[in-house]
Structure 1
Amino acid sequence: MQKLRFIYIIISLLLIIQDVFAQTDENEVKAEVFYNAGDFHGALHYYKAFSSRTSNLSDFSKIKMANCFYFTRDYISALELLKKMDENFIPDSVLVYFAKSLIYKEEYERAIAVLEKAKIKSSKNKMIDVYIENCNWAQKNKNETANYKAEKTEIINIGQSFGTQFYDKGLVFSTALDEGKDYLNNYKFADNAGRAFKKLYYASYNDGKTGKPVLFASGLKYDYHQGGISFSADYKTMYFSENVIVNNKSVFKIYKAEKKNNKWVNKQELNINSNEYSCAQPTVSYDGSQLYFVSDMPGGQGGKDIYVSKKEGTKWGAPVNLGEKINTKGDEVFPFVNKNGILYFSSDGHPGFGGLDIQTAVWGNNEWVLLKNRMKPFNSSADDFAMVSSFEDPSQILLSSNREGNGQNDFIYRLIKLAVLNDTIRGIIKNAVTGYVIPEAAVFLSSDTLQTDTIASSKTDINGAYMLVFPKQDESVFRQNLYIIASGENFDKQIMKIDALDFESHKGVTKKHNFTMKDKPKKKQKPRSISGVIKDALTDKNLKGVSVFVLVDELTGDTLAYTITNDAGEYNLTIPQLAYNEEKKELLFVIEREGYEKKTINITEDFYESDKPFIPDFDVSMKIEIKKEMVIEFHNIYFDYGKADLNAPSIEVLERIVKVMQENNTMSIELSAHTDSRSDSESNKKLSQKRADNARDYLVSKGIPVNRIVAKGYGESQLRNHCKDGVTCSEEEHAVNRRIEVKVL
């Protein structure tokens, strides 16, 4: 219906303009109408018709025509047009498009110059510095490759890809097989970039060969783009994103469907969706407990961010942003989590060769850690995205990319691991004193000891093992002196000369060279003090009587320092002098108190890194041990006299209650609200009930099931002090009685 209304508006405007601008070229006028309506495909059609009849295309029209090429992903044509123009005339936003088109052609130096000019014209675009940094990174790493080759598959995919997934000895992918239609005059089937709406197709797949595509899950009805598919490990549940129109606004939503009797049925919208922003490109973890997806919801790091939601019964929990180590000022899209929990995604904010680059991250120490860019041939100067691997055979890897042609079409590539036939050097590096292996040591192969001619490089893994692979090059390289050079942050550099004649055959020779490294001498660590305040993680109250230890062995209790917090929850203890390189003992900061969970924090790295006063920045709040019938009192859930509205400090406290209930998913509570004695008892009881209801409703809005919360108002029946009816009290004394209590049921 919206498309028909759009066509009617376009036709009406064209009829009016035809009369008003009878002396103006009809094609240019129509192009302007389509351009202003955001239909770049339609505008480009008429700009081309106009430019073919005249050489007098204005600079303004050239810029708009270049924008049309760019937004329809014809980067080569956009580049050809903009290269002929005076850069001083081009607006800063179009200069950025110009630079990104240059990057597509790997013209990094000129792209940097254009971006610097755009930066001078406007400092508002925060991505300009990111693009400049990426250009520098791309030039530095242009020859770095992974041991794979990329091979284009036979999968038919015209226009923009929404990703591919392995399924039942084949593939499911989104495409528009009938894109040969004239979509300029067939708006029902095309978006404003002239791309046909995607449908899901299935094709058999074996060793890069595909069968004839057939419509997949035809029983699932949809009107616009459909794609971003993910299957559960048993292939009985499918998650996918679909383009919908809500209140004349286009958004993506995530749905799921179930496979029953070989048919996909029970299409359901997930509860994480919104009418105000998009949720798309879902991928479910192998165990089915977590759903990763992309969203442009408010509060993210940049444009599109990756979020994760944990399964809670039949629903999905509140989405959690993966954080600034994964998400950037740019876009992070197309997440995929393999069987081993490694996250693959595409980003234009992390260092890359251009466009979207595939990145890798792992979960460790309660946070996502970015590992690296996947390098070429996984990545290119174009958009590289939607990397997936098979659960059954992880060596089967597919990705989408528009690296070929002018950039308009995405093709599906398979990545094939290459056999390692090059000569290699392998070995293990150990600590010369302790005999322990040394991980993360940098290892180089060079023709001289100064590393002016580095031939190969590596890093030791967690087992202290390294591998140096000789690149394919002139045999003369192997007739000169060769040195293995190893270095580490806390170790002296070690140099080993090896016999170059061992590596003349180029037939996959492997030589083993193990060696040791010595610790760098370190001065003794001076005595240092640690001080701070310990709080209750739930109520934020300062805790007195907390035992604070610094241990070197938690099993034996070997203690370096000990104290107890005072009435204000404060502690101060001094760690005696330690020799850095004698043992570099592991230091543990331990806090414990009856009724609270014991907390142990490893402070070794922070303590040894310098001689400056040690100021801890770790969390020393303590979690209360949850027990039935226990009552937790909150005086900092504030209510103004006679009112039940929650204010900002109150919400902050309720958020802590939400966190505790999320961590203890079987925990049920009674939320009891209490008033002071002012006003009559019946009014106070009604007011307290409303306050309790408001607190309960807030917890429910954050995903806590309502059946886990009992809200009860006690009015003035349970005063905490002497301020009953007829007694004169200060405002502070009355405030003590206006409180919320949480009782564990």
Structure 2
Amino acid sequence: MEAKEKLKYFHQDIFRAMKIKKLLLLVFCSGIILYFFPTRLFSDDLGKANKYYEKYDYQYAIEIYERLLNENPKLEIAQKLANCYRFVNNTVAAEKAYATVLTFPGFEPINYLYYADALKQNAKFEQAKRNYLIYAERLPEKSDEAVKLANSCDAARLWLENPDRNILVTNEADFNSENSDFSPVAYKNGFLFVSDRQFLKPIKANSKKVYGWTGNPYLKLYQAQNTNDTLDGSLKLFLMPEQINDQYHSGSATLTKDENTIYFTKAGLVGGIEYGNTKDLVMKKAIYFSVKVNGVWSPAIPFPYNSPLNHSLQHPALSPDGKILYFSSDMPGTLGGMDIFYSENTGSGWSKPVNCGPTINTKQDEVFPYIRKDGKLYFSSRGHITIGGLDIFSSTGAKNTWTDPDNLKAPMNSSKDDFGVFYYQDNLTGFISSNRAGGKGSDDIYRFSEGPKELFFAVQGTVVEKQTGNPLEGLNIFLVNKKTGEQKSAISAADGSFKFDLSKEADYIVRGDLDKYFSKQQGEISTKGATESTVYNVKFEVEKGEEAFLVKLNNIYYDFDKFNIRKDAEPELLKVLDFMNSTPNVNVEMRSHTDARGKAIYNMKLSENRAQSAKKYLLDKGGDQKRLTAKGFGESQLLNKCADGVKCTDEEHQFNRRTEFKVVKVDPVISYVPNFFIYPNFPFKQS
């Protein structure tokens, strides 16, 4: 029995040992897994995100980059996440993401530009301006471009804060979806427009029918039918037939006058499928057209100058007579980015495309051309002065000869992207497309209408110290109606700004009365004959009186009963000349005096001679005749007690024989803001 018990316990010990060994092995293996698996998992996820990024499937990449950045913050992840948000045009998220990039050591200076762009599109103009200027400092070779962008922030803020009150812009809610809807054109008793909405039945994410860049279905052309020429909520939507809408994108369209030929954008994957290299799959855009025969659209026919392996063509727009096709492309011959080109219908085909020229095109993107019935060109641009992203511009001309583009300003433009304009026959109403705040989806269609012109006028300016450029707060600015004498006043704000509303057909003086600065700086503004609502912009650059208003000379003396300039006075006179040369906006008066000895009439004449003598000396040394005057005061302004009947020494009397130099008139130092602030026929003048 004892042996059996011993054997029993022996087996139990072996069993326990085996269990402990298995447990230890399990713990060891678990440790190995816990040690290596997270890194491997992180690496796999990063590789997957990067693969999405390289294939332009930014929406899928964002989800992974967001998580990885929280788990293991790195510059590479932060940079690519910020780029993704920029590419998908999520400016709010892009602003936050680029701000994060700037916290990592070693980031590229270009991120200041991207950050500033996002800030500007989010209407944070002062922050955007600062970051454009930092970009200019970090990359001096880009300083001209960066300073232009920084200055454009002032124009953007001005335009956004002063929208045209004659234009009403409203969201066409019944026309829009939660996705992108844009670029309507008239067709039959309704419209054609572009949308990536979910239609008929939902499409799952990661489906082949979903565009990874946006995470939405591919863009398609829709026909919206209604019973009249307005969008009244009874719209019926139809997908255009498969001859026009195929597997991938179908974009904005234009039609001939008889509506029997349609030109439109198509995009698809090229490079990898046809040539067997799956890493080179890219989405390229091209222009196609289709002809309606017996009510049926023909298969899509490529425009002869498509070259989807090399460049894109998109956004076709026909001239009213159908003889010229305008479009956007990055084909050879661009000035940079996408440019607007044109091709002419020769009767036997389309001519080789020609760039519309540097008046229209810039180093940035010019896209979405549209030709109104009267031949006026409308297009969107990032390269001209904009409020934010893409702004709509107009120009008159044809082919490659155009007037300088006009920004349509607010409310037609916003701090976001504005594009895809369409006008009705009256040239006063139509549609624009925009991703501005308050819409139903990412891009929405908005109706606009121009009412009778109710002109408004205002003056908006700033006061800065000339020496430093710093804004001056709390200074009085006056607006005076020259006819009625009515005077309004404003006090400059912390940023030096002030503003007045103006009346029609009136003449005004804008004046700055500044106690410690040059006084009576003023300029004239007239609204007479103005046919455009106008905001007049001025800047007062003022100088400190302590430094420039009064020039005191050190002991310029005249011999008794003499008015010639002594040698010991010449250095002090030259100081006045230097002052006038460095302060070209001032006029100076020589004010000469005598002592009290002699007759007052004689002393007056003597003081005038002394003043003229000082003036002549300065003129002989190169002084400006128009800026110099001379005046004698005789014994009327003594500096001490030595009046008639008071006994004084010769030195005390000589102290009164002096010439002072005083600024008696200041030509206004009013500098104008850059031209993009100013409406046509800007009539501000100095006086």
Same fold (TM over 0.5): yes
In percent, how many aligned pairs have the same letter?
27
State whether residues 382 and 407 of structure 1, in contact with CA within 8 Å, keep that contact through their aligned partners in structure 2. Answer: no
| Closer/same/farther in 2, CA of residues 454 and 356 from structure 1, 3 Å limit | farther
Give the aligned partner of residue 656 of structure 1: none
**RMSD (Å) for aligned C-alpha atoms:** 3.8
Counterpart for residue 52 of structure 2: 34
1:328 is aligned to 2:328? no
1:374 aligns with 2:408: yes
Which residue pairs with 2:115 in the alignment? 98
Task: Report the AA paired with residue 170 of structure 2.
Answer: E
3-state SS of 1:297 partner: coil
1:109 to 101, 105, 126: 126
The match for 1:172 is: 192
User: Which structure has the larger Rg over C-alpha atoms?
Assistant: 2
Q: 1:337 aligns with which of 371, 393, 409?
A: 371
Contact 2:197–2:216 (8 Å) recurs in 1 = no
Q: Give the distance between the partners of 2:119 and 2:525, measured in 1 at CA.
A: 43
1:141 is paired with a residue of what secondary structure?
Answer: helix
Superposed CA offset, 1:371-425 (max 9, x none): 41111111011110011113x443331111111269981111010223446689x
What is the deviation of 1:173? 0.7
Q: Tell me the secondary structure at the aligned position of residue 216 of structure 2.
A: coil
- Count of matched residue positions in the alignment of Structure 1 and Structure 2: 431
Shift of 1:315: 0.8
- Residue 24 of structure 1: SS of its match in structure 2? helix
**Structure 2: distance between partners of 1:76 and 1:203:** 32
Q: Is the 8 A contact 1:73 1:406 kept in 2?
A: no
| Structure 1 residue 145 displacement after superposition | 2.6
Which of residues 185, 198, 201 is equivalent to 2:206? 185
* One-letter code aligned to 2:330: D
Q: 1:116/1:46 Cα in 2 relative to 1: closer, same or farther (>3 Å)?
A: same
Corresponding letter in the other structure for 2:334 = G
Amino acid at match of 1:321: N
Q: Secondary structure at 1:120's aligned position in 2?
A: helix
Partner of 2:298, secondary structure, is strand
Q: Equivalents in 1 of 2:486, 2:358: separation in Å?
A: 37
Match of 1:267 in 2: 300
Which residue pairs with 2:450 in the alignment?
A: 417
Summarize the alignment of residues 314-325 of structure 1 with structure 2, pairs less than 5 Å apart: 314-325=348-359
Q: For residues 487 and 265 of structure 2, what CA distance do their matches in structure 1 show?
A: 48
Q: 1:117 offset after TM fit, Å?
A: 2.2
Distance 1:196 1:123 in 2: 43
Given that 1:282 and 1:294 are in contact with CA atoms closer than 8 Å, whether structure 2 keeps it comes out as yes
Residue 195 of structure 1: aligned partner: 216
Say if 2:230 is the partner of 1:222. Answer: no
Q: Confirm or deny: 8 A CA contact 1:73 1:407 kept in the other structure.
A: no
Q: Distance in 2 between matches of 1:40 and 1:47?
A: 10
**Relative to 1, partners in 2 of residues 1:389 and 1:92: Cα closer, same or farther, differing over 3 Å?**
same
* 1:93-172 mapped onto 2 (5 Å cutoff): 93-122=110-139, 128-146=146-164, 147-153=166-172, 154-161=174-181, 163-172=183-192
Q: Using CA pairs below 8 Å that are at least 6 residues apart, which structure has the higher relative contact order?
A: 2
CA 36–223 in structure 1, closer or farther in 2 if over 3 Å, else same = closer
Alignment partner, residue 330 of structure 2: 296
Structure 1: unaligned runs, 5 residues or longer: 1-17, 425-445, 456-472, 486-492, 499-745
Q: Which amino acid aligns with 1:68?
A: C
* C-alpha displacement of 1:59: 4.2
DSSP-derived class of the 2:345 partner:
strand
Partner residue in 2 for 1:74: 90
Tell me how far apart the structure 2 counterparts of residues 207 and 251 of structure 1 sit (CA, whole Å): 35
Deviation, 1:86, is: 4.2
CA–CA separation in structure 2 for the residues paired with 1:49 and 1:339? 51
Give, in whole Å, the separation in 2 of the partners of 1:386 and 1:315. 27
Is the CA contact 1:42–1:184 (under 8 Å) kept in the aligned structure 2? no
Q: 1:207 aligns with which of 223, 230, 233?
A: 230
Q: 1:496 to 1:186 in 2, by over 3 A?
A: closer
- CA apart distance, 1:124: 6.1
Who is 1:244 aligned against?
A: 268
| Letter of the structure 1 residue corresponding to residue 340 of structure 2 | I
Matched with 1:400 is 433
Verify: 1:311 aligned to 2:345, yes or no.
yes
* Distance change >3 Å, CA 244–CA 34, structure 1 → 2: closer
Aligned position for 1:731:
none
Q: Does the C-alpha gap of structure 1 residues 258 and 38 become closer, same or farther in structure 2, counting only changes over 3 Å?
A: closer
Tell me the distance in 1 between the aligned counterparts of 2:253 and 2:191: 11
Give the Cα separation in 2 of the matches to 1:201 and 1:221. Answer: 9
Q: CA deviation at 1:329?
A: 0.9
- Listed one character per residue, the Cα deviations across residues 316-369 of structure 1 (whole Å, up to 9, x for unaligned) are 111111100010111100000011100000001111101111001001798211
Q: Do the aligned residues in 2 keep the contact of 1:306 with 1:335 (CA within 8 Å)?
A: yes
Distance in 1, matches of 2:306 and 2:300, equals: 14
3-state secondary structure, aligned to 1:272: coil
8 Å contact kept, 1:150–1:413: yes
Q: Tell me how far 1:191 sits from its aligned partner.
A: 3.6
**Aligned CA distance change for structure 1 residues 121 and 194 (closer, same or farther; 3 Å):** farther
Contact 1:77–1:406 (8 Å) recurs in 2: no
Matched, 1:45 2:63: yes
Rounded Cα–Cα distance in structure 1 between residues aligned with 2:527 and 2:262: 57
Contact 1:72 1:194 in 2 (8 A): no
Classify the secondary structure of the residue corresponding to 1:220: coil
The CA deviation string for residues 8-29 of structure 1, in whole angstroms up to 9 with x for no partner, is xxxxxxxxxx989436376455
Q: Secondary structure of the equivalent of 2:357?
A: coil
User: Does the Cα contact within 8 Å between 1:294 and 1:306 map onto a contact in 2?
Assistant: yes
Q: Cα offset for 1:453?
A: 11
Q: Using the alignment, how far apart are the partners of 1:111 and 1:223 within structure 2?
A: 40
Q: What CA distance in whole angstroms lies between the structure 2 residues aligned with 1:43 and 1:495?
A: 56
Equivalent-residue separation in structure 1 for 2:268 and 2:108 (angstroms):
33
Question: What is the CA–CA distance in structure 1 between the aligned matches of 2:455 and 2:155, rounded to whole Å?
Answer: 27
Write the distance in 2 (CA, Å) between the matches of 1:255 and 1:225: 12
Task: For 1:64 and 1:406, locate their aligned partners in 2 and report how far apart those are by CA, in whole Å.
Answer: 28
Compute the TM-score of the two structures, normalised by the length of structure 1. 0.52
Contact kept, 8 Å, 1:67 with 1:94, in 2: the verdict is no
Alpha-carbon displacement from aligned partner over 1:504-552 (angstroms, at most 9, x marks no partner): xxxxxxxxxxxxxxxxxxxxxxxxxxxxxxxxxxxxxxxxxxxxxxxxx
Q: Which amino acid aligns with 1:47?
A: Y
* CA distance in structure 2 between the aligned counterparts of 1:156 and 1:170, rounded to whole angstroms: 15
1:70, 1:330 → 2: CA distance?
16
Residues 25 and 264 from structure 1, CA distance in 2 versus in 1: closer, same or farther, beyond 3 angstroms? same
Q: CA deviation at 1:159?
A: 4.4
Distance in 2, Cα, partners of 1:45 & 1:260: 47
Aligned partner of 1:231 in structure 2 is 255
Distance 1:122 1:307 in 2: 32
Question: Gapped runs of 5+ residues in structure 2?
Answer: 1-35, 273-281, 458-478, 489-498, 510-522, 529-687
> Do the aligned partners of 1:296 and 1:303 also contact (CA within 8 Å) in 2?
yes
SS at match of 1:106: coil
| Cα 1:19–1:112 shift into 2, 3 Å | same
Q: Secondary structure at the match of 1:315?
A: coil
> In structure 2, the residue corresponding to 1:316 is in which secondary structure?
coil
Amino acid at match of 2:371: V
| Structure 1 residue 38: Cα displacement | 3.6
Q: 1:408 to 1:43 in 2, by over 3 A?
A: farther
Provide the secondary structure at the position in 2 that maps to 1:61: helix
